[in-house]
Amino acid sequence: MRFFSDNAARVSPQVLAALIEADQVDTAYDGDRWSARLDEAFSDLFGTPVDALWVTTGTAANCLALAALCPPFGGVLCHEEAHVETDEGGAPEFYTHGAKLMTIPGDGAKITPDALRARLGGIRNDVHQVQPRALTITNATEYGRVYDPDEVAALGSLCREHGLRFHVDGARFANAVATLGCHPGDLTWRAGVDALSFGFVKNGGMMAEALIFFDESLAADTLRRRKRAGHLLSKGRYLAAQLLAILEGDLWLDNARAANAAAAIIAMAAGARCLHPVEANEIFLSVTAEEAASLRAQGFDFYDWGTGAARFVTSWHHDAQDVQPLADAIAAL
Amino acid sequence: MRFFSDNAARVSPQVLAALIEADQVDTAYDGDRWSARLDEAFSDLFGTPVDALWVTTGTAANCLALAALCPPFGGVLCHEEAHVETDEGGAPEFYTHGAKLMTIPGDGAKITPDALRARLGGIRNDVHQVQPRALTITNATEYGRVYDPDEVAALGSLCREHGLRFHVDGARFANAVATLGCHPGDLTWRAGVDALSFGFVKNGGMMAEALIFFDESLAADTLRRRKRAGHLLSKGRYLAAQLLAILEGDLWLDNARAANAAAAIIAMAAGARCLHPVEANEIFLSVTAEEAASLRAQGFDFYDWGTGAARFVTSWHHDAQDVQPLADAIAAL
Amino acid sequence: MRFFSDNAARVSPQVLAALIEADQVDTAYDGDRWSARLDEAFSDLFGTPVDALWVTTGTAANCLALAALCPPFGGVLCHEEAHVETDEGGAPEFYTHGAKLMTIPGDGAKITPDALRARLGGIRNDVHQVQPRALTITNATEYGRVYDPDEVAALGSLCREHGLRFHVDGARFANAVATLGCHPGDLTWRAGVDALSFGFVKNGGMMAEALIFFDESLAADTLRRRKRAGHLLSKGRYLAAQLLAILEGDLWLDNARAANAAAAIIAMAAGARCLHPVEANEIFLSVTAEEAASLRAQGFDFYDWGTGAARFVTSWHHDAQDVQPLADAIAAL
Amino acid sequence: MRFFSDNAARVSPQVLAALIEADQVDTAYDGDRWSARLDEAFSDLFGTPVDALWVTTGTAANCLALAALCPPFGGVLCHEEAHVETDEGGAPEFYTHGAKLMTIPGDGAKITPDALRARLGGIRNDVHQVQPRALTITNATEYGRVYDPDEVAALGSLCREHGLRFHVDGARFANAVATLGCHPGDLTWRAGVDALSFGFVKNGGMMAEALIFFDESLAADTLRRRKRAGHLLSKGRYLAAQLLAILEGDLWLDNARAANAAAAIIAMAAGARCLHPVEANEIFLSVTAEEAASLRAQGFDFYDWGTGAARFVTSWHHDAQDVQPLADAIAAL
């Protein structure tokens, strides 16, 4: 009955099994057979050659990507409520050596082409103002909204036009793909995306995330940056094995679908209380303090979201039976 | 028959069990019961109040410590063959924002008080020269030598005298303690050490290391630096549980003793071939290219160490039976 | 008839004389008699012991101050139109190693205590959000407004309450003091200010600015940071002599008063066109594109300020006769 | 009778005249006619198109160049007694965001191709070791030696072979050219040099140095880095005018020749006391403490250089008459 965050959920059984399998050999760093298969496995998934690196956190994936895409003296355009702006403790600035996050407003933590154009239009092209070099969006967003392939492509097109590199924070990329039913390539390289943080931890993984470079020329330096950031684990095989286990048989999609379906049940019950369309596995509801207290008294855990609102997040292991009590309780408020 | 490195070995069974135990709950970041016990568990071990943080690599532990001990414009004194200088891909410079590693020579990768004094004596105290602010030593060293408590204390005393903070890279700290038979406090806080990177990965762990602050005032900012470096795992409980599993019942000492004992068997067989006294679990031997080839033909894997030398490292799971064939083969060269 | 910026004006004759005087000796770095007098000269001016360092730009002064007041993982609160945020090319992020500028809105580029409180109230105190460590205000502001001593003190008091250090960007500090007629200490240390960038270049200097530390404990490390940033000139005497020449006989106040008086003449003529109260030497006017073109056709140079507005800045060497033609032309629009 | 350093000498009269000339206009940053002429003036001098930027210190010139040539995770090869390694307070690490200086030994602070090859040969090409990306040499060196065009070209050729960019710290470049009598292009772009810090301050300037990019693609980003480092002076015309005044009529060569000639007189008198061949304007002599004291008692000022040695530096304004007393005194020791 805990709906704090998918980032805390226990792991898929296949992940535990993969760790035990990876324990049979003794290879160091990324010299193991699982790590060696990552490029191919993700290239197959995306339908284009990619370079895939394991890291242990989404923050590291995001920030290694941004460091590859933006020089220290450049700027990274992002939503004003993007995770990189609000919840990564200054990690983007650390990894990029002080690049400036340049924020853009928008409903549901989504950036529209118009909003991007307006932001770009307000920047003088001189040495006194930081010049943007990259755009990062989150898909699904921090408010559980998704960008569809056309929306991503429209932003990608603007990026090309303005000389910006393009990154997607896909902490919940699987949830977006599951919702949209599209090919993962449609949300990424076919839409002009250079790099993707492909989240696994929120989707059944233990501590392995994938950083995907569609522009493969960026990978070599990033291998050095990963080491330099202390993220080259000596027993990296335990990370690679997690990723492969979740890719195997499209477990990543099954997990995301399960979380999304659970969220949909809650959203249906919540109706007009929903502050944002529920398009992935996060539900933001309008609830009074008394209503929140009532839900907690019934054993449901979740975060308050400012005043008069609450966030519920479903996870890969939630099924209809798990969330029905919450849905009922919300409906009964 | 692989003696490449202890950093690649499989993990202690207790570690796998701990992961499964940690999988029963869903708590985020370091809000779990295992993480909450770390300060107390390590305080008990060291016999003094400490702050203990989990991280996933020794590089991260070392560099977070150095960032806490040295400002960006300062210098970190270290051995010229220290891991931070030669094998961390510039991570110390990344984490410290460009502090300068100031190297010191010495046999067996050990720094003597005289060598430290000589290095300090060569630095002009003006703004043109970087001023050292910290000393870091590795114990056991990169050549498998150990500093005993008196040696550490002599360096600690010099640090106090010269206003230097003192860090120990203890990637193989357990091996040093096992060899010396001393209390872990004797090699650290009682000798003036401010921070210790306490290695678990080379000693049966999967991807959890402990960063120990004897000067607890340094911990709060380091929690922020850890997040900023992308090292705050959302499912941190799987790291904390590893550390506790290895502390439990002194498994860390048992593991280290096993590795040391295995090394001793090889060292005995190698006799005068040993390039350094074997005081932990690393053996550096003088072998010709032909001899190395012969050993490899017999199925033994290891690293060449420059020309005419080879490095063998034993691990926690090696027993006498495992290493006897190698010992015999070396004796027969 | 150029009103682009006081930062381009020619220098006071006393500055040229000082350079010639400084040319008589050959001393390196800050080992000259002018540099040696700075601490005392500024301590006398402020009525409290201070440390004073010369640098060549306001950007360097601001950023060295911020680096002294805020750690890399901290945040610096500033107005959203502050020079450090909009016009320093990412220098604050460079000098602070990636500290985050956290912006606050407000009329006339002024920060009110309420606005500061509101911003602080929106920051969660956890490791995921960057925590502010310092506040910087600009006095006179980027829109030519001034903070009076009570306003500065109110912010200073909030800083103390919230553990924030307090910096003033005084690129036009002299203009603020001239307007307010107060003691320079009233706008700084008596109001809780830790460090001041005291501008000389916009007030008759050539390339010398003063960085003043009221908290003298911050100076020693800043001397190292100045060197590290390549700002320790080997012939620093030519900078120190400039500063002393402008301090001498209160030339700094005379210069600022002249600029302010010239601005007042223009403001009087502009009347309701003034977009902000003219409290220093900058005038922002509402003018149509046609009106701006007309003024330019009459030989007046100035910057457009977005659409429908223009900025005029007066300088130390402007007298009534210099600006009357512009005042007349504006009145005649 | 002061022979401490050429970096402290008074300035050429033409420099003062240039400042007065530059005082006649009011243009900001590098929007003046002097700054606009720099590219052409230096292109003419070098016989190839270059980009030329003014900065105020050699440290800034060196470090902006290194930041352009080496990524944060790379290494910069330099002599172990290079100014960037020993006397810039960590500025290279600051500007490059932590690139590692990788030192090379050699007589007279010169790097030989063999020494460079040996250093390169000792670096493993993996992510654990920092990979060198650039070489920097000082010409004339910190010991007053010069590299001739063939020597520079041999290093340049090695750089090409190993994918290294090539920088020359030319704090005393004029002295080297004056000694060799070669074309300045022979010591730079024709020999494979990408960027040059061309010193003016030690050669009659006040606080203006030139950063020359032979690879013009590096200039645009460096303009941003210069601003970001606080080195874009608002009254930059006073710097540009200095540079042009010293270029005018080959004053830079006249000044350097005068300093070199003065040094030659002292060297002749010193004979076998010279610790290094005197090839520019620095003389390093073997003198006992008593001899040094005797010279000082006679009114000569200079630096001790470790034990039993002293450094004397001549400047642009020294003529035979100025240095003869010192020459005589040394001869009489």
Q: Could you give the ipTM of this predicted complex?
A: 0.97
Mean pLDDT across the stretch C66-91?
Answer: 98
Measured in whole angstroms, how far is the alpha carbon of residue C129 from the centre of its chain? 30
Across chain B, what does the average pLDDT equal? 97
Mean pLDDT across the stretch A165-194?
Answer: 98
Indicate if A200 and A283 belong to the same structural domain: no
**DSSP codes joined into one string, D46-82:** HTS--EEEEES-HHHHHHHHHHHHS-TTEEEEEETT-
Work out how many domains chain B is built from and give that number.
2
| CATH number of the domain bearing residue D256 | 3.90.1150.10
The distance of B225 to chain C (nearest Cα, Å) reads: 7
Indicate if B237 and B276 belong to the same structural domain: no
> CA–CA separation, C204 vs A220, rounded Å?
51
In the 8-state DSSP scheme, what is residue D5?
Answer: -
The fraction of chain C above a pLDDT of 90, given in percent, is 99
On whether any CB of chain C is under 8 Å from the CB of D238, the answer is yes
Query: Is residue B28 within 8 Å of B190, Cβ to Cβ?
Result: no
Averages of pLDDT over each 10 residues, chain D, 333 residues: 92 98 94 96 98 98 98 98 98 98 98 98 97 98 98 98 98 98 98 98 98 97 98 98 98 98 98 98 98 97 95 96 96 95
Over residues A80-98, the pLDDT tens digits come to: 999 999 999 999 999 999 9
On whether any CB of chain B is under 8 Å from the CB of C228, the answer is yes
Residue C4 in any domain: the answer is no
On whether any CB of chain A is under 8 Å from the CB of D71, the answer is yes
Q: Which of A228, D74, A225 is nearest to B60 (CA)?
A: A228
- Please tell me whether residue C102 adopts helix, strand or coil conformation: strand
The fraction of chain A above a pLDDT of 90, given in percent, is 99
Q: Residue C1: its pLDDT value, please?
A: 82
Q: Residue B247: its pLDDT value, please?
A: 98
Indicate if D27 and D67 belong to the same structural domain: yes
Helices and strands (H, E) in chain C, number of each type: 13, 10
Residue A118 in any domain: the answer is yes
- Please tell me whether residue C268 adopts helix, strand or coil conformation: helix
Residues of chain A contacting residue D128, judged by C-beta atoms under 8 Å apart: 227
Residue D7 in any domain: the answer is no
Mean pLDDT across the stretch C263-288?
Answer: 98
Residues of chain C contacting residue D241, judged by C-beta atoms under 8 Å apart: none
> CA–CA separation, D79 vs D99, rounded Å?
15
Q: Residue D177: its pLDDT value, please?
A: 98
Question: Which residue from A minimizes the CA distance to D225?
Answer: A73
On whether any CB of chain A is under 8 Å from the CB of B227, the answer is yes
Residue D3 in any domain: the answer is no
Interface contact A72-C94, CB threshold 8 A:
yes
Across chain C, what does the average pLDDT equal? 97
Place of tokens 């006679």: D298
Dihedral sign of CA atoms A40, A41, A47, A51 in order: negative
Indicate if D243 and D256 belong to the same structural domain: no
Residue of A73, A94, A130 lying closest to C98 (CB–CB): A94
Residue B180 in any domain: the answer is yes
Residue D2 in any domain: the answer is no
Indicate if C209 and C266 belong to the same structural domain: no
**Joined tokens for residue B90:** 């510039």
Residue B4 in any domain: the answer is no
On whether any CB of chain A is under 8 Å from the CB of B234, the answer is yes
Q: What residues have CB less than 8 Å from C191, skipping those under 6 apart?
A: C149, C152, C153, C155, C156
**DSSP codes joined into one string, C134-145:** EEEEESS-TTS-
Instruction: Kindly list the distances between the CA atom of residue B182 and the CA atoms of A101, B146, B177, in Å, as whole numbers in the listed order.
Output: 51, 12, 6
The segments of chain B whose pLDDT lies below 70 read none
Q: What residues have CB less than 8 Å from B214, skipping those under 6 apart?
A: B46, B48, B50, B188, B189, B193, B194, B195, B196
Q: Residue B116: its pLDDT value, please?
A: 98
Indicate if D245 and D271 belong to the same structural domain: no
Over residues B149-164, the pLDDT tens digits come to: 999 999 999 999 999 9
Indicate if D277 and D240 belong to the same structural domain: no
Interface contact A127-D232, CB threshold 8 A:
yes
**Parallel, antiparallel, or unpaired for β D282-286 and D209-213?**
unpaired
Query: Is residue D79 within 8 Å of D113, Cβ to Cβ?
Result: no
> Residue A277: which domain range?
252-331
Residue C90's CB is within 10 A of a number of other CB atoms, namely 27
Indicate if A39 and A102 belong to the same structural domain: yes
Indicate if B168 and B307 belong to the same structural domain: no
Say yes or no to pLDDT of A1 above 90.
Answer: no
Picking from A206, A224, A249, the residue at the C-terminal end of a domain is A249
- Confidence tier at C10 by pLDDT (50, 70, 90): very high
Indicate if B302 and B227 belong to the same structural domain: no
In the 8-state DSSP scheme, what is residue B90?
Answer: T
Q: What residues have CB less than 8 Å from C274, skipping those under 6 apart?
A: C267, C283, C284, C285, C286
Picking from A249, A277, A306, the residue at the C-terminal end of a domain is A249
Indicate if B63 and B23 belong to the same structural domain: yes
> CA–CA separation, D142 vs A70, rounded Å?
37
Q: Which of D1, D2, D14, D5 is nearest to D205 (CA)?
A: D14
- Confidence tier at C150 by pLDDT (50, 70, 90): very high
In the 8-state DSSP scheme, what is residue A130?
Answer: P
Indicate if D112 and D193 belong to the same structural domain: yes
Picking from A212, A231, A249, the residue at the C-terminal end of a domain is A249
Q: Residue C326: its pLDDT value, please?
A: 97
> CA–CA separation, C86 vs C92, rounded Å?
11
The distance of D238 to chain B (nearest Cα, Å) reads: 26
| CATH number of the domain bearing residue A237 | 3.40.640.10
On whether any CB of chain D is under 8 Å from the CB of B129, the answer is yes
Q: Residue D1: its pLDDT value, please?
A: 82
Residue A103 in any domain: the answer is yes
On whether any CB of chain C is under 8 Å from the CB of A81, the answer is no
Q: Residue C145: its pLDDT value, please?
A: 98
**DSSP codes joined into one string, D95-146:** HHTSPEEEEE--GGGPPPHHHHHHHHHT---STTSPEEEEEEEESS-TTS--
